[in-house]
Amino acid sequence: MTAEEQKTGITYECIRCGTKVTSEELNSLPEIKCICGYKVFKKARSPLVKQIKAV
Ligand SMILES: [Zn+2]
């Protein structure tokens, strides 16, 4: 696994509404918070992201 995959391959899922957010999106936010206002996420590694490769 490359460093880039580790960086972009992690998806977090809000345990309240199920909205998925990437670690990149979370990092760009001033605080870790879902659009619904909840702050508890669980890690959800998306198989979809894993299939995307830089060409
Ligand atoms: Zn939410």
Q: Give tens-digit pLDDT for 22-44.
A: 988 888 888 889 999 999 999 98
Q: How far is the CA of 32 from the centre of ligand 1 (A)?
A: 11
Q: How far is the CA of 11 from the centre of ligand 1 (A)?
A: 13
Q: DSSP per residue over 5-54, as a string?
A: HHHHS-EEEETTT--EEEHHHHHHSSS---TTS---EEE---HHHHH---
Q: How far is the CA of 47 from the centre of ligand 1 (A)?
A: 21
More confident of the two residues 7 and 30 = 30
| pTM, rounded to two decimals | 0.62
Average pLDDT, whole number, for the chain? 80
Q: How far is the CA of 55 from the centre of ligand 1 (A)?
A: 33
Beta bridge partners of 11: 22
